[in-house]
Structure 1
Amino acid sequence: MEKFNAKLAVPARERGKLAPIRMSHVVIGTNPENYEAMVEWYLTYFEGEIAYANDDVAFIGFDEEHHRVAIAAIPGLVRPPANSTGVNHFAFTYNDLDELLATYVRLKKEGIEPYWPILHGPTTSLYYKDPDQNRVEILCDNLKGEELLEFFTSGAFDENFMGIIFDPDDWIEQRKNGVSAEELTSRDKLPEGKTAWDMFRD
């Protein structure tokens, strides 16, 4: 694919286009026998509340939207093979690194741990899998505006588009010891002999 220079996207409506005003919700289908486990997992994951539920569907809200996630019990569903095309994951944003790490601690106490903690550069991200093995990311932004443009034009993303794996527990200790969020999220170069794909977990 042709490489494009990095730029800050202008919202479509500011360009005179009639685009959606926001993303509304995600609906996840599951087998009826796993329905309750899925609902409980997402309630825990998002500190959510049920806006409406019956034996077939649950609407879960955690922000200003009536429901941001819905779980639907659909008979006969099967999981796709691991190497299937399609949606890879959904992502949700926290205000800052401390909120993200606090959520990591809360979820860990509930037995929910990330399979892939990674400092992408523009974001710090924690990837999880729900009981059906759907991937869900929580993140915080590290760079915005001109700082983000500088990162993309520096060549760092060309060299390593994936990021650097990190240890959330180590970062928590470093924050307690006074290391700033900016220091922690300043991305190092790839270890010698490693490629971006060596940082990938699935």
Structure 2
Amino acid sequence: MSPPNTTTPKVISPSKLAHVVLHTNKFDAMTRFYKFFLNATASYENEQLSFLTYDEEHHRIALVNMPDLKDKDPRHAGLGHMAFTFDSLHDLCESYKARKALGIEPGWCVKHGPTVSMYYQDPDGNTLETQVDSFDTAEAANEFMHSPEFAQNPLGTDFEPEDLCKAVDGGVSELELRVRREIGARGSPEDFMQIMAKMATAKVGA
């Protein structure tokens, strides 16, 4: 598709991202997982479909039962991950602890710079990010993303979730904890391979 010119009508941007639909051959496991993972309820559900919501939207995740599908192949092009934002590190950690009690644990935890993030996988192998914004405004986040530090390391600095949550519970300032530690250059193919190895350790529960 060629870029628009000055005579091309401007497309109106949507007001929000409404939902994501996932086709799955593990319908029962995926439905159970997302209800636990998001503390979601079904606004409608039958043996073929599950529409799940956790806020004012009638559904945020829809699951379609397609038992004849092949399993997900991570070598194929497609969606990288879905991200869900929490208001505070306290809420992120409380959700982490609740999920861990259900056997759901992240494979990769990282302070990207713009966000503090924990990455999980669902039973189909789709990646889910739970995050907290590191900056109070989008302008401040954009400024950081144009910094030399971010250019050198766009991936971020890993952290241990237990260490972070103990610091939160201990009363350490969230403003302090949201700041990433600079570790120099990171973003090579080898770095991505290490991240993939970490993600393979993610647990999806019973």
- Interval containing the TM-score (normalised by the shorter chain): 0.7 to 0.9
Count of residue correspondences? 183
In the TM superposition, residue 171 of structure 1 has moved relative to its aligned partner by 0.9
**Greater relative contact order: 1 or 2 (C-alpha under 8 angstroms, separation 6 or more)?**
2
- SS of the residue 2:106 aligns to: coil
Where does residue 159 of structure 1 map in the other structure? 152
Correspondent of 1:104 among 90, 96, 103: 96
Identity in percent: 36
Structure-2 change in CA distance of 1:136 and 1:145 (3 Å):
closer
2-side partners of 1:17 and 1:81: how far apart?
34
Instruction: Please give the root-mean-square deviation of Cα atoms over the aligned residues, in Å.
Output: 1.7
Q: Which amino acid aligns with 1:166?
A: F
Are the aligned partners of 2:27 and 2:64 in contact in 1 as well (CA < 8 Å)? yes
2-side partners of 1:127 and 1:85: how far apart?
19
Q: CA offsets, 1:113-170, max 9 Å, x none?
A: 0011111110011111111111111111111233223312331110100011101100
In the TM superposition, residue 20 of structure 1 has moved relative to its aligned partner by 1.4
Where does residue 3 of structure 1 map in the other structure? none
Structure-2 change in CA distance of 1:145 and 1:27 (3 Å):
closer
2-side partners of 1:38 and 1:116: how far apart?
21
Unaligned runs of 5+ in 2: 1-9, 197-206
Does residue 157 of structure 2 align to residue 169 of structure 1? no
- SS of the residue 2:116 aligns to: strand
TM-score where L is the length of structure 1: 0.84
Unaligned runs of 5+ in 1: 1-15
Structure-2 change in CA distance of 1:164 and 1:30 (3 Å):
same
- SS of the residue 2:140 aligns to: helix
Correspondent of 1:146 among 139, 154, 171: 139
In the TM superposition, residue 17 of structure 1 has moved relative to its aligned partner by 5.0
2-side partners of 1:19 and 1:149: how far apart?
20
